[in-house]
Structure 1
Amino acid sequence: MTNVLPTYPRSNLEFTHGVGSYLYTKSGEKFLDFGTGIAVNSLGYSNPYLNDKLKEQIDKLWHLSNVYQIPEQEKLAQRLCDNSFADYVFFCNSGTEAIEASIKIARRYFHSSENFSHKTEILSFSGSFHGRTIGALAAGGPDKLSSFNTTVNDFKFLEFGDHEQLQNSISEKTAAVIIEPIQGEGGIREVPRQCLEGLRKICDENNCLLIFDEVQCGMGRTGKLFAHEWSEVNPDIMTIAKAIGNGFPLGACLTSKKVGEKMDFGSHGSTFGGNPLACTVGNAVLDIMLKDKFFTEINVVAKKLYEGLQNVITDFPSVIENIRGRGFILGLKCKVENDKFVNLAREKYILTVKASDNVVRLLPPINLTLNECDEAIDKIRATCSELK
């Protein structure tokens, strides 16, 4: 019997260490990881540069209260703002904390604005996943709250892609619309550029804020630093986590100046958010991702992976219907049960992740090599061959 709360459907795999794109078991089995802790270890395991930077900071300071100046935090905030739409950053420890911050910040913005304190409603979409705290669950839809005997007011849930419903649902109460530029848990469903443009226009016309949840699809996973950059549509608020810490707990909520300046002393906080260790790792991640030609180089591999998978789909149409996503956040829409695909792929020593809509997610390290790309395609082809 385990004393760990049974909130995860764990497999029997137990890993002792990881190097690059691979995880290793005690018995020496080697797995190519196309799950990366669900889009977390985007620069691979035991990354030497990240490890060295963290070890340096460990000998200096682990934790400081946010009532003091934290240079590593200031540096990371400035770099995130310099490379995005944002002017302010709130640091936390996870994606769901970043979402909670975004909800509070959006409502605070209108509460602090004369004649607009009635704007409290948040609109979200089917297939979305924004976290597991009560507020974040509410943004994911009422069905996610049903087993906790609670309701949260001022959330309205819309069908993904239903533009008419969106138009009819915006009201004088609407404070914000929250959306993932690419849905992760929902089955790797990318929001088309024209839809994000239309959403921005609707928000502007109705004086409400646009929130992008890039916890899973952001931080380089699409081949740009942030997924929304492909659309050239900027939000008012954005949440990030997962890959910004490459496995070290770190999240952030980024805001524009007009939104962020409504927050003041005591309006939000975090004991551990923005600590020196986490921000040191975050800065090291950016050191790598902001290098010249980094995204040019990884997009070459991403293109090869996509084309290779397309060939597999062509050869096994009875197994996979299509491929979704971009960069290194891809989804295989299966005709067989995605459970069977994931389990058989594991027998081929490649780790993948299930998603809704009978999709298998492929979330490899974004610094995947060409040889590892070939290996992955071969393993997925072998999986399909047995499932046909």
Structure 2
Amino acid sequence: MSSGGNDNAGAAQRWRESIMQTYGTPPVELVSGSGCEVTDVEGHTYLDLLGGIAVNVLGHAHPAVTRAVSEQIATLGHVSNFYSHEPELRLAERLLTLIGAPDNGRVFFCNSGSEANEAAFKIARRTGRPGVVAASEGFHGRTMGALALTGQPTKREPFEPLPSGVEHVPFGDTAALEAAVNEETAAIVLEPVQGEAGIVIPPEGYLRSAREIADRAGALLILDEVQTGIGRTGHWFAFQREGVLPDVLTLAKGLGGGLPLGACVGIGEAAAMLNPGQHATTFGGNPVCCAAALAVLDTIESEQLLRHGAGLGEELVTMIERLGHPLVAEVRGAGMLIAVELNEKLASVVVETARQRGYLLNPVRPDAVRLAPPLVLERQQAQRFVRDLGEVLSEALAMSTGGEEGTR
């Protein structure tokens, strides 16, 4: 095995020789970060507008998270699920209060969004009904149960047969949802905004309709807020925008502020459907991760980041639209979760061009670029990105056509 060089190319070589090829080879090795900026092994600095895929809501090395993690790991690092500890208890209570279910909700802590959705799937099975209705193009994780819920055939097909009973209907189509739900339906599983599908926002009132459809059928409403929760859309949770309350809520990503932490929250009858011995995870509710999450929630509240993220996210959408660039077909946004849809399948080219200019983005679809920056993104940083975005788009377009216009 080669040791490679101490640069990005060397890191790529070491990756190919030692890491399973499930992601492709990363173009850079990051070594440090502060706020919304990260630095690679060669000393190049980037404005991180992906935030670890909507994870680093407070950016990198935030003092509150750093302090909380350092103090907790020096006190109590891990206890398993045989014992309780204060950070876990406080975090569960805090989440239930923020959700609006302090008296009739219960939390199961885990390590990721996939695990949170696996727990939710198990809760649905405990109803005794065989069917689940989810959305086409929805994404709920890569484990087998979460993958069955995922409405993207290319991700599912290599691993079939998957758990049965899941039907997918078009996202945002109330009539299709109502037609699919019946007395055999255990649960409706939806994202309030489809993240991996390209930041797809449903029509106003869709979640309210889903709540009503679930109630009429006696089914559970399960909302996957792994990507949209913890302030990402300008609310603590995206469902709050429509004034509904799910029976089950799944969380991860931003919850741990960079540490692996997920949660499946049951509300009402769903809070008591899993009994002792029916579900568990060794690392779930780890004291260090819970301490980090408490610091995240405290900081979002004290620094008024819900309002900041909602406002700056709206400004970003407007500024990108005002570029009037011929490559941009549409800009969609919900708080700090934004997609720039392109007229051509050049997302990877745009992302690579942006990286060379010092910006980290994500080609969420071949024709769409995703932004999920930290909630602490500064207005000046957003404005600097938009100023450069026009040239990035022009250069990507010129590269695709072989022209010179827009290059430098």
Q: TM-score, normalised by structure 1?
A: 0.93
Counterpart of 1:204 in structure 2 is: 215
User: Is 1:319–1:387's contact at 8 Å kept on the other side of the alignment?
Assistant: no
Cα RMSD (Å) of the superposition?
A: 1.5
Counterpart of 1:376 in structure 2 is: 385
Deviations 1:302-345 (A, max 9, x none): 23222211212x2x1x2101111211100001113211111111
Which of residues 146, 152, 156 in structure 1 aligns to 2:167?
156
Counterpart of 2:331 in structure 1 is: 323
Which residue identity lines up with residue 238 of structure 1 in the other structure?
L
Counterpart of 2:118 in structure 1 is: 100
Q: Does 1:50 align with 2:34?
A: no
Structure 1 residues 11 and 3: CA distance shift in structure 2, 3 A: closer
Counterpart-to-counterpart distance in 1, 2:380 and 2:359: 14
Superposed, 1:326-345 pairs within 5 Å as 326-336=334-344, 337-345=346-354
3-state secondary structure, aligned to 1:171: coil
* Stretch moving more, 356-365 or 209-218: 356-365
Structure 1 residues 32 and 292: CA distance shift in structure 2, 3 A: closer
Which of residues 246, 267, 271 in structure 2 aligns to 1:260?
271
- Report how far residue 363 of structure 1 moved: 0.8
Q: Does 1:184 align with 2:195?
A: yes
- Report how far residue 143 of structure 1 moved: 4.3
Counterpart of 1:32 in structure 2 is: 47
Which residue identity lines up with residue 147 of structure 2 in the other structure?
L
Counterpart of 1:137 in structure 2 is: 147
Counterpart-to-counterpart distance in 1, 2:36 and 2:188: 36
3-state secondary structure, aligned to 2:226: coil
Counterpart of 2:17 in structure 1 is: 2
3-state secondary structure, aligned to 1:182: coil
Extract structure 1 runs of 4+ deviating beyond 4 A.
none
3-state secondary structure, aligned to 2:99: coil
3-state secondary structure, aligned to 1:298: helix
User: Is 1:186–1:357's contact at 8 Å kept on the other side of the alignment?
Assistant: no
User: Is 2:229–2:236's contact at 8 Å kept on the other side of the alignment?
Assistant: yes
Which residue identity lines up with residue 92 of structure 1 in the other structure?
C
Which residue identity lines up with residue 45 of structure 2 in the other structure?
K
Superposed, 1:288-367 pairs within 5 Å as 288-291=299-302, 293-312=304-323, 314=324, 316=325, 318-336=326-344, 337-356=346-365, 358-367=367-376
Q: Does 1:217 align with 2:225?
A: no
Counterpart of 1:126 in structure 2 is: 136
Percent identity of the aligned residues? 36
Counterpart-to-counterpart distance in 2, 1:162 and 1:356: 22
Deviations 1:48-107 (A, max 9, x none): 111011000111111002121211100000000011034111000000000001111122
User: Is 2:347–2:365's contact at 8 Å kept on the other side of the alignment?
Assistant: no
3-state secondary structure, aligned to 2:392: helix
Instruction: Say which structure, 1 or 2, has more relative contact order (CA 8 Å, 6+ apart).
Output: 1
3-state secondary structure, aligned to 2:164: coil
Which residue identity lines up with residue 349 of structure 2 in the other structure?
K
3-state secondary structure, aligned to 1:145: helix
Which of residues 390, 394, 399 in structure 2 aligns to 1:385?
394
3-state secondary structure, aligned to 1:178: strand
Aligned residues: 377
Counterpart-to-counterpart distance in 2, 1:306 and 1:143: 30
Deviations 1:112-154 (A, max 9, x none): xxxxx3x121111111110000111100135432212423211
Which residue identity lines up with residue 134 of structure 2 in the other structure?
S
Deviations 1:16-39 (A, max 9, x none): 111110110122111111111111
Counterpart-to-counterpart distance in 1, 2:377 and 2:243: 26
Q: Does 1:239 align with 2:250?
A: yes
Which residue identity lines up with residue 245 of structure 2 in the other structure?
N
User: Is 2:347–2:366's contact at 8 Å kept on the other side of the alignment?
Assistant: no
Counterpart-to-counterpart distance in 2, 1:13 and 1:217: 27
* Stretch moving more, 238-247 or 189-198: 189-198
Q: TM-score, normalised by structure 2?
A: 0.89
Structure 1 residues 172 and 5: CA distance shift in structure 2, 3 A: same
User: Is 2:172–2:203's contact at 8 Å kept on the other side of the alignment?
Assistant: no
Superposed, 1:82-93 pairs within 5 Å as 82-86=97-101, 87-93=105-111
- Report how far residue 163 of structure 1 moved: 3.0
3-state secondary structure, aligned to 2:310: helix
